[in-house]
């Protein structure tokens, strides 16, 4: 475990009144979430343009934001980039085309400056954990899109930061790798990290996340466990669809969309919808 993780792993992540603007348009409108606790996986869901990726990029320090984003006593929005990089690890939605660097080399580069005692061993361990050890010596430029996504995830995970931000980590993966990635992400959370990931697949979100934050129009529509934050009523409000939420024989939730309802409301969420659902 890196020094950064060991010293901050027990701190909650507080997000209050977070606002992000692109030119004159507000993408996040004073967003406030219940404290994100170590050991739990949060799935950010919502329609396109709801502000999910923007939230992650603001927490990672990639875009300017106002408000509060504090990990314990550390205000992430005002930290030096080098200090923030010890606390927050980010996997982007779009992975750039590969270079001649190998997967192992790229994973090792991601550990630079983190004072790891055995970076090579930890890099190999992460590649093994994610099921891509066989790609270790392959050039990133030779990989498929899904394989590059797995390599990018390895670079985020190996940093061993207390906060792990993943923007659509399974969007280009087949079913087997989806399961392997989400199982690994859940295990990382159980080991003491705060994991926050954007997912478009609500069935996957319901299966793997402890909490769901449903965003709409840059605001919080609902927050709580999947069975309370993913309901036909909320999905109609957020996505403008008629849907059914069912459970399989093992008790796992899944979502079926039956058709379009009225267009998603452009109005602000109601006070009732903004309440934390527990």
- Over the chain (278 residues), what is each successive 10-residue block's mean pLDDT? 47 97 91 97 97 97 97 95 93 81 95 86 94 95 90 94 96 91 94 97 98 97 98 96 96 96 58 49
Q: For residues 22 and 30, what is the distance between their CA atoms, to the nearest angstrom? A: 14
Compute the radius of gyration of the chain from its Cα atoms. 19
The domain of 142 spans 3-274
pLDDT reported for residue 264: 54
| pTM reported for the whole predicted model | 0.90
- The pLDDT assigned to 5 comes to 46
In this prediction, residue 99 carries a pLDDT of: 80
Whether residue 92 contacts residue 169, with contact meaning beta carbons closer than 8 Å, is answered with: no
- Which three-class secondary structure state does DSSP give residue 85? coil
CA angle 71, 238, 16 (to 5 degrees): 20
* Chain mean position to CA 199: 8
Q: What is the 3-state secondary structure (H, E, C) of 164-186?
A: EEEECCCCCCCHHHHHHHHHHHH
Total domains present in the chain: 1
Q: What is the pLDDT of residue 67?
A: 98
- Helix then strand then coil, % of the chain, to nearest 5: 35, 30, 35
171 vs 208: CA distance, rounded Å: 15
Tokens of 210: 């402890």
Output the pLDDT for position 271: 42
pLDDT score recorded for residue 273: 45
**What pLDDT does 157 receive?**
95
CATH number of residue 185's parent domain: 3.40.50.300
Q: Per-residue pLDDT tens for 187-210?
A: 999 999 999 999 999 999 999 999
pLDDT in tens, 85-120: 999 999 998 777 768 899 999 999 999 878 788 999
Percent residues over pLDDT 70 in the chain: 91
pLDDT of residue 94: 79
């Amino acid at each position: 475990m890196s020094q950064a993780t060991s010293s901050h792993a027990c701190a909650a992540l507080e997000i209050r009144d977070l606002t992000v603007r692109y030119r004159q348009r507000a993408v996040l409108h004073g967003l406030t979430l219940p404290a994100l606790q170590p050991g739990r996986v949060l799935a950010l869901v919502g329609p396109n343009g709801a502000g999910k990726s923007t939230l992650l990029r603001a927490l990672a320090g990639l875009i300017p934001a106002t408000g509060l984003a504090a990990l314990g006593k550390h205000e992430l929005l005002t930290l030096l980039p080098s200090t923030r990089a010890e606390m927050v690890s980010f996997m982007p939605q779009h992975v750039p085309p590969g270079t001649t660097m190998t997967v192992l080399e790229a994973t090792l580069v991601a550990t630079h400056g983190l004072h790891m005692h055995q970076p090579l061993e930890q890099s190999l361990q992460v590649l093994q954990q994610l099921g891509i050890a066989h790609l270790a010596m392959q050039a990133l430029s030779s990989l498929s899109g899904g394989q590059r996504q797995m390599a990018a995830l390895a670079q985020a995970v190996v940093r061993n930061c207390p906060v792990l931000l993943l923007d659509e980590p399974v969007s280009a993966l087949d079913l087997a790798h989806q399961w392997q990635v989400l199982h690994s992400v859940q295990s990382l959370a159980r080991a003491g990290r705060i994991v926050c990931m954007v997912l478009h697949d609500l069935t996957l979100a319901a299966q793997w996340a402890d909490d769901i934050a449903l965003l709409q129009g840059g605001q919080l529509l609902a927050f709580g466990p999947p069975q309370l934050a993913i309901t036909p009523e909320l999905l109609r409000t957020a996505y403008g669809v008629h849907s059914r939420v069912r459970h399989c024989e093992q008790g796992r939730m899944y979502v079926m969309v039956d058709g379009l309802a009225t267009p998603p409301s452009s109005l602000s969420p109601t006070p009732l919808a903004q309440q934390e659902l527990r």
